[in-house]
Structure 1
Amino acid sequence: NPSVLALDLLFLYPATPAYPQRPFVLARSAASNSTFDAALRHDAGSKLEALARDDLPTFMATLMPELVNESNPLPVRNAAALNIKNAIVARDANRQQELNERWLALPQETRTGVKHGAMATLGSPQPRAGTFAAQVVSAIAAIEVPNDQWPDLITQLLAFASDASNVGLRMNALTAIGQICEVVPPSSLSSRSNEILTAVVQGARREEPSAEVQSAAVAALLNSLEFIRDNFEREGERNYLMQVVCEATQSEHHPVQVGAFECLVKIMSLYYDKMGFYMERALFGLTVVGMKNPDEKVALQAVEFWSTVAEEEIELKMEEAEALEYNDLPERENKKFATTALNDIVPVLLQLLTQQEEDADEDEWNISMAAGTCLALLSQAVDDAIVPVVLPFIETNIKHDDWHMREAAVMVFGSILEGPDPNVLAGLVGQALPVLIGMMSDSNAAVKDTTAPTNESNFRTAAYEALNAYIANASADNFGAVSQITLTVLQRMETLLNIQNELLNIDDRSNWAELQSNFCSVIISVIRKMGGQVRPLADRIMTLTLRLVQAAGKQSTILEDGFLVVGTMSSALGPDIQPYLEAFLPIIVAALKNHEDAALCTVCIGTIGDISRALQEKTVQYAAAFVSLLLESLQSQVMGRNVKIQVLACFGDVALSIGPDFAPYLETAMTVLKQAGEIQPNPLDYEMVDYVAQLREGILDAYVGIVAGFKSADKSEPLLPYVQTMLGLCARALSDEERPDTIVRAAFGLIGDLADLYSKGQIKQLLTEAWLTSALQQKPKGAPQETKRVLKYARESVRRAVA
């Protein structure tokens, strides 16, 4: 707790005759300089927190002199800066908004005093005190600059950054600038971006006489790489920036080298598409040399560069596969940097893998671990090409006398199991398996530890995947065997649940979670295969699943697996799922309120949809709670926007289930859907274009569910005021030349449903508008049969409705 930290440090330096008014007398005790009472420390921290909460002006007036005072020891000044910062900074967006309002509501003289104190401390004779002050400056800037406050801040900092007479001031001004670029929206500083970049690059150049200033400038550049996106688009500026960064990787000052390689890592992540020229001219060679650097911090960043390349190219491979699925071209080109450099970088990585330390801390990231991770990512990026490059190393060293070489060979083998075609690996696996099994009793503990996961984790996962495949393809004659498999899995799940409290170390808990996840995957496969015939096993499955999610605590992956079982069981049992909901729904509701966990929230929303579809009209008793929960999710400032797409679609699931009983929630739901449907993307922002396409698809799915729900009860009147809005979204979606087939199907499906619902001419004028007539007349070439079928349905429904 930073507040407790502050008081602990200030206990070391209690009030003295020279400083009798030191305000921390509030919480000071008679404790000596070397002994502390835990309860007293807690009480001290609580008092300081209370002061910040109840009287922020006094809190600021109390702490700022402690930061400014040049006679204070550094720990005291650091503690004061941390507490000031933590009083105005929060991780949660809602809490941050509250803190912003509190700060802006302070008297002008209080705010001005804090800002002047922090800015003055940037030039402290103790440079580290200035570093502490830079955190305060950036924290205040994050609040004030977007609100058009503190107009002279950047001017002052730029002047400080060019003050050759004070190295500490220059260094800390650059640090503050970098932090500000990271926390302030670029639009709020766009008019000063060129000046800011000039100051940062000036300090980062190899000609800079002060290594400390250069290091601070390189760190500032790292923080500002997203902020300077417009500058990076201009070739001349980009070339100069890359030259400065590349030259900094050759600095004799190691912190500058580390920072420069960190910049290259982030540049590759942000600007991969523009890296071809620089990879050919410099980056291949620089990073290979960097991986061999005796300073591990430098080598780690050089390895991280290639891990980032591999991650980018794995993502591009996925985009290519998706484009191929739709007979389209990918939006971005995979430049295959990893493939080109494979023969140069893999030998270096293999050498780094052999630099293990026998007594290394498992939780401490080191160069050997980084090399193994990089190799695994490269394997997924280049597929089969990795095998011939690493095979000689495995064959030569897997039986080597030196344990470093044996363990490295096993690590390489385990790292390439994902990526290459299984047929390519088959021969290697067949040869290696007997050796690996023998190595599980190797004389060296490190070799055994590496061998066991290579065997156990991959083979255990493969075994459960094989089991799932068997269940999925089992005939009705094999249901007895499937039931027996289920009973065995349930027994193992129960055994694991009974020993959960006995698990003490991280590895045991991780294995426990992985096994439970595998068990859930088998149970889900069984439920899907057996459908309603799973009823005799339902009680036991749901009882154990309830125990599992209750035991999961904050392990969201376990919660996800448990909720997936609930959703699958809902689909199998239909309305008979209801007796289990009293126990599960409170847990699902609580999990969905964890808005920061996107994966967990997505599963929760899907489970609510599964339950709604299963209960059908019985959903009405839960509808108010479901709708309230969905609206709360949409209003969250923290929940990811992609998750909110699923939330919008879920309105359709609830409406479809309860039909006309959705009427009390109709106006609210349609208002939310209308607002979301009116979002228009910037055509140059490809990420936003993709998001809006997904958003529209989710809204169309919701509309389809709502219309179908009212249509099932032949209740068309409540929807009539919203028909124009729904068709308006269809028009926008179908006018998008880049629209995917899923949106085309959803839009035409909705048009057909509306025409069918109002088949007596109530919306004839809307159905005969030019855009709709044109859309229905199109002849989609190469479209899937399902799309053509839905288009035909829409045409026929509209024709009947306007006849």
Structure 2
Amino acid sequence: MAWQPSPESLQTLIGCLKDSHNGFDKAAQKQAEIMLTQAKTSPDFNNYLAYIFSSPTPPAGVTLAPRDNTVVRMAAGIMLKNTVKTAYKQTPEATVALIKASVLLGLRDENHPIRYNAGNIATEIIRRGGVYAWPELLNELLNMVGNVDGQTSPATQEAAMSAMCKICEDNAKLLDREVNGQRPLNILLPKLIEATSSPTPRVRAQALTAIGEFIPRKSQAMLANVDALLNQLFALAPDPNSEVRREVCRSFVLLVETRADKLTPHVAGLVDYIIAQQQNDVDEDLACQAVEFWLSAGEHEDFWKSIGPYVTKIVPSLLQGMVYSGEDIALYGSASDDDEEDDQDEDIKPRFATKKTNRNANGSANASGDQNAANNSYEKLGGMEEDGLEDGEVEEEETDLDGDDGLFDEVGDSTWNVRKGSAAALDVLARDFGDAMFECIMPYLTENLKHSDWPQRESAVLSLGAVAEGCITAVTPHLPNLIPYLVTLLDDPEPLVRQITCWTLARYSAWAIELTDPAQIAAYFVPMMEGFLTKMLDKNKKVQEAAASAMATLEEKAGKKLEPYAGPIIKQYIKCFEKYKDRNMYILYDCVQTLAEAIGPVLALPELSGELIPALFKRYDSVPDQSRELFPLLECFSYVAMSLGSVFAPYAQPVFRRCVNIIHQNLEQSLAAASNTHLDNPDKDFLITSLDLISAIIQALAGEKASMLVTDTQPAFFELLSFCLEDPTDEVRQSAYAVLGDCAKFVFPQLRPCLNTVLPILLKQLDMDNILDEEIDAGFSVINNACWSVGEIAIRYGKGMAPYTDELLKSCVEIVTNPRVPRGVNENAALALGRLGLANAEALAPHLHTFADEFLVSMDDIDPTEEKATALRGFTLVVAQNPQAMEKVLLHYFKTIATYEDINLRSPIKQELHDAFQNIIQVYRQMIPQLDTFLAQLTAEEQAALKSQYAI
């Protein structure tokens, strides 16, 4: 018998759901929440929710106003979604069946919030259980979208298409996977293309959105249907609905990236169409999407050539799009001085740990993570900030019922808009067409650079900056006139002009930096640098930010050329520390750390460090441990510590201790959250930045001073580090293994007693099976640092590695022989194998044939360093134990010996490597009577090197 609710329980639950959202009676609301918590323990609780959610009218005996009935049903739907989200696999099948049935009824409901919520529940079921957890759903949705029964309302069609769109977004890969000889996408894609002919605009638009999930995949289905799609796009191009046209533009952008060959025959019409949509001043999103087409076209390796004949049409449209609109001028123009005003919380961007310590094959740290250069270069243009609606997922439990569509506001940063997109597109096209692009904009610059209306003046400066990289050859003859004029614009009355001038000057800073004539340096470079420094204390905070960012760019490009100016630069930074509010303090940290990286040890001069460090510490002491400002601040300290080296020693202890305390607090919060689901998990970025700074301090101080810091926190330091080595977050483990390697390198006596705890943890990390496909990049970064730390430990622990050698050998061999492993990880694993052989050659020798070839290939790409020298020596000791195993790669081995550079440096490490090579050559001379004939296969240069170095 089908499940039926108890009338009494149903009435009680409806009353609780209603009261739980009664903001006028707090007592009733609190009591209802208590009762709902108790009711959740009932096995039938979700059955009741499904019944309530799918019932358009209240049950007999319950009187509810229409609005209250909607509130109750929405509350039930939200609780159902949260159940699916958090406990889908624990929910009984019978209850899941009821939830599915309620969803199908909800999609056909007359009430928009119910339809929207039903779609959310449907997509959550698919997200948690997979497409095949509800295989009938796709057909049901397609039937609703296509109005197969002739009775489906346009509203239900929209709801079904919305759910279908989200399912496609979440399951694009799975829908294109073959199951039982069929690919769902082969059936689904033609239906979606058919749906783009729907009489309902929202269905047409969302059908295109769903199709867009599959265009980049180059699937069989897309290959078979691309012509039908293209025909439909051309048919929809003049659609009266701007949302549809926006999706048409988006589809063209995606097709440029994957099937540009299909668009090339239609390029003339496409250019006119995109320009027309780009100039739409009613729908900003449509215009923005149209601009994206030029970015994609310009970045395509071939397609950009096809738009060449139309550049004279395209460029004016881009220049027009770069001028502030009247609305923007009213909102942002002629901004008042605000440097004394405190920043609001919403003005400050969320900060994340950005410095991920990744060890390359010579042990040095580098920052990992690529960025979209084109978009990021233009993110700050205009400084417009507004709230953004996110039509997506809400990570926390949904409890808000305001609004029909269930969307939630999130405070957003500067949005991507037509102005920024046009500038970025001009940049990309300038790189494609080079100096010819400058000829296109020259008349515009001549007319507008000195225009009396500041929006025109500002736009001209922006366009000049946008073509800086692509047109530098054509612009360079004009720079002696342009640079002085731009420097004068740093004092323009309009803040937005001063702001964009900073950015444009920074784009041309390389030209000024490369000047060698002292008179020219004084005429161009120095005024540019002084202009940035002066504007860092502008009365407008946006100008301050732009100037600071420009100064950081100048530092990065100038490097050691800034050494003569370090004193004045630091004095200005100290004034900024005194003046800046919270937001711009972040970019100031970037200026300081970039300067530290640029001038290196020069920063350690007493007259420089003596002024900078107190200013940094003044801010450091005022920032609480819970502030996200710690991320850029600790990163800044990392660079400063590395530059100062041992000079940082007097300042190191309080910073080191604070980092250890932050790690301790964070780990304790993680343990508490693991045992109490009501507690939030701590922000792991605090762990990451603290570990990275500890790493920098240990490297900077090295030796005895670093040992004292670690000893001062014993045994807590290595206990905490071992927890970090097992943290579930990849980025935490990545930084932790960097610290472990540094400890092995610089404070090994303190690390040694803890190795029996640490090494078993490290072995588990080297298990390749632990890397999930969707986390492959982050997982490999962890393994990379773990391999590097193995090598650093092995070279010092010697025979102490014996209990772990077999497992380390197995793991490292798997890494160096796996073609999926990135080159840098492969190299670090090879170095670890070689260094493991220094004291454990006998254990590795029987397995030499399993890794000799890959080891030698890896060594070919590694620069000569002490790490490479020790790895080759350890490998050579292994070869000496089993020389016969090298039969297939012996010529490659002798090539490695012959081409090893830097062997003449008679440091002990290089001398030991030379002796090891000499000994192994003698071994093979005894084994191979015709060794000289064998070595004749090497090049003349390689034979000469062997003869000169090893008397062959």
- Identify whether the pair has TM-score above 0.5, normalized to the shorter chain: yes
CA RMSD across the alignment: 4.8
Tell me the distance in 2 between the aligned counterparts of 1:618 and 1:551: 20
Structure 2 residue identity aligned to 1:675: D
Q: 2:189 is matched with which residue?
A: 197
Residue matched to 2:123: 138
| TM-score, length of structure 1 as denominator length | 0.73
Residue of structure 2 aligned with 1:410, choices 451, 457, 461 = 461
1:619 maps onto 2:710 in alignment: yes
Q: Rg: which structure is higher?
A: 2
Could you tell me which residue of structure 1 aligns to residue 693 of structure 2?
A: 607
Asked if 1:544 is matched to 2:618, the reply is yes
Conserved in 2, the CA contact under 8 Å of 1:261 and 1:301? Answer: yes
Identify the residue that residue 424 of structure 2 maps to in structure 1: 376
Are positions 1:437 and 2:491 aligned together? Answer: no
Q: Cα distance, 1:707 vs. partner? A: 1.3
Indicate the larger mover: 148-157 or 521-530.
521-530
Q: Structure 1 residue aligned with 2:203, among 203, 209, 213?
A: 213
Deviations 1:666-691 (A, max 9, x none): 3432332232477598xxx9x95x77
Deviation at 1:169, TM superposition (A): 2.8
**Are 1:122 and 1:133, in contact at CA under 8 Å, matched by a contact in 2?**
yes
Counterpart residue number, 1:518: 591
- From the superposition, tell whether residues 512 and 573 of structure 1 become closer, same or farther in structure 2 (CA, over 3 Å): closer
Seen in structure 2, the aligned counterparts of structure 1 residues 258 and 797 have a Cα distance that, compared at 3 Å, is same
In structure 2, how many angstroms separate the alpha carbons of the residues matched to 1:779 and 1:23?
67
Corresponding residue for residue 118 of structure 1: 103
Paired with 1:381 and 1:52, the residues of 2 have a C-alpha distance of 60
Instruction: Judging by fraction of residues, say which structure has more helix.
Output: 1
Asked if structure 1 preserves the Cα contact closer than 8 Å seen for 2:84 and 2:124, the reply is no
Per the alignment, residue 764 of structure 2 pairs with 672
Higher deviation after alignment, 60-69 or 350-359:
60-69
Match of 1:660 in 2: 752
Q: Distance in 2 between matches of 1:103 and 1:402?
A: 61
Kept after mapping to 2: 8 A contact 1:355/1:368: no
- Partner in structure 1 of residue 411 of structure 2: none
Letter paired with 1:619: V
**Structure 1: segments with no counterpart, 5+ residues:** 1-17, 30-35, 91-97, 314-332, 501-508
Alpha-carbon deviation of 1:203?
0.5
Q: How many residues align?
A: 710
Correspondences of 1:262-661 after superposition (within 5 Å): 262-265=250-253, 267=254, 272-279=257-264, 281-282=266-267, 283-293=270-280, 295-296=282-283, 297-307=285-295, 336=304, 340=308, 342-354=311-323, 356-357=325-326, 358-360=329-331, 362-364=384-386, 369-376=417-424, 378-379=426-427, 382-383=430-431, 384-385=434-435, 386-417=437-468, 421=472, 424-425=475-476, 427-428=478-479, 430-431=481-482, 433-434=484-485, 437=488, 440-442=491-493, 456=535, 460-463=548-551, 472=560, 486=570, 488=571, 491-492=574-575, 494-496=577-579, 500=581, 509-522=582-595, 528-530=601-603, 540=614, 543-544=617-618, 546-547=620-621, 549-550=623-624, 553-555=627-629, 558-559=632-633, 561-565=635-639, 567-568=641-642, 571-573=645-647, 577-587=652-662, 603-613=689-699, 614=702, 615-616=706-707, 619=710, 621=713, 625=717, 628=720, 631-632=723-724, 635-636=727-728, 639=729, 641=730, 644-656=733-745, 657-658=747-748, 659-661=751-753
Between the aligned partners of 1:663 and 1:241, the Cα distance in structure 2 is 61
Q: Report how far residue 776 of structure 1 moved.
A: 6.4
Matched-pair contact (CA < 8 Å) for 1:52–1:87: no
Q: Which residue of 2 aligns with 1:705?
A: 792
Q: CA deviation at 1:755?
A: 1.9
Q: Is the 8 A contact 2:767 2:811 kept in 1?
A: no
Aligned letter for 1:349? L
Tell me if structure 2 keeps the 8 A contact 1:204–1:218.
yes
CA distance in 1 between counterparts of 2:14 and 2:609 reads 75
Which structure would you say has the larger RCO, counting Cα contacts within 8 Å and 6 or more residues apart?
A: 2
The one-character-per-residue Cα deviations of 1:71-93 (angstroms, maximum 9, x if unpaired) are 99997677567655654668xxx
Write the distance in 1 (CA, Å) between the matches of 2:314 and 2:616: 51
Residues 701 and 82 (structure 1 numbering): CA distance in 2 closer, same or farther, change over 3 Å? farther
Written as runs of structure 1 = structure 2, the 5 A alignment for 1:43-82 is 54-56=38-40, 58=45, 61=48, 65=52, 68-69=55-56
- Within 5 Å, which residues of 2 pair with 1:785-800? 785=864, 792-799=872-879
1:615-637 CA-partner distances (Å, limit 9, x unpaired) = 2475364575556456557543x
Residue 518 of structure 1 and its aligned partner are, at CA, apart by: 1.7
Higher alpha-carbon deviation: 47-56 or 649-658: 47-56
| Residue aligned with 1:275, SS | helix
Q: 2:159 corresponds to which letter in structure 1? A: N
The answer to whether structure 1 residue 720 and structure 2 residue 720 are counterparts is no
> Which residue identity is paired with 1:121?
G
> Structure 1, residues 168-188: CA drift from partner, whole Å, max 9, x if none?
333322211111222357437
2:287 maps to amino acid: A
The residue number in structure 1 matching 2:166 is: 179
* Contact 2:16–2:32 (8 Å) recurs in 1: no
The yes-or-no answer on 1:225 pairing with 2:307 is: no
d(CA) in 2 for partners of 1:393, 1:356 = 18
Q: CA deviation at 1:523?
A: 5.0
710 and 749 in structure 1: CA distance in 2 versus 1, 3 angstrom threshold: same
Once the two structures are superposed, residues 235-259 of structure 1 have per-residue CA deviations (whole angstroms, 9 ceiling, x without a partner) of 2233333443443333222222123
Task: Supply the AA of the counterpart residue of 2:143.
Answer: A
Which of 245, 248, 254 pairs up with 2:236?
248
The structure-2 alpha-carbon separation of the partners of 1:800 and 1:27, relative to structure 1 and needing over 3 Å to count, comes to: closer
Question: Is the Cα contact below 8 Å between 1:303 and 1:370 reproduced in 2?
Answer: yes
2: distance between equivalents of 1:367 and 1:470? 31
2: distance between equivalents of 1:177 and 1:428?
A: 55
Which letter maps to 2:636? G
User: Corresponding residue for 1:756?
Assistant: 838
Structure 1 counterpart SS, 2:118: helix
Alpha-carbon displacement from aligned partner over 1:7-60 (angstroms, at most 9, x marks no partner): xxxxxxxxxxx999654452576xxxxxx76xx57x777667656655346587
Matched letter for residue 752 of structure 1 = G
Q: Per-residue displacement from partner, 1:630-659 (whole Å, max 9, x unpaired)?
A: 6557543xx4x5775444444333444334
Deviates more, 1:193-202 or 1:547-556: 547-556
Provide closer, same or farther for how the CA distance between residues 137 and 388 of structure 1 changes in structure 2, counting only shifts above 3 A.
same
CA deviation vs aligned residue, 1:482-535 (integer Å, no higher than 9, x gap): 56764x256325413xx64xxxxxxxx543432343234335656643559788
Unaligned runs of 5+ in 2: 1-10, 59-63, 333-383, 389-413, 506-534, 536-542, 671-679, 883-922, 924-952
- Percent identical pairs in the alignment equals 15
C-alpha spacing 1:704/1:425, structure 2 compared with 1 (3 Å): same
Conserved? CA contact 1:137–1:176, under 8 Å: yes
SS of 1:359's equivalent in the other structure is: helix
1:141 aligned counterpart, secondary structure: helix
Q: Give 1:327's aligned residue.
A: none
Which one of 236, 241, 247 corresponds to residue 259 of structure 1? 247
TM-aligned CA distance change 1:774 to 1:137, over 3 Å:
closer
CA apart distance, 1:551: 8.8
Report the Cα distance in structure 2 between the residues aligned to 1:600 and 1:388, rounded to whole angstroms.
50
Whether the 8 Å contact between 2:489 and 2:498 is mirrored in structure 1 is no
The corresponding residue for 2:353 is none
Alpha-carbon spacing, 1:253–1:28, altered in 2? closer, same or farther (3 Å): closer
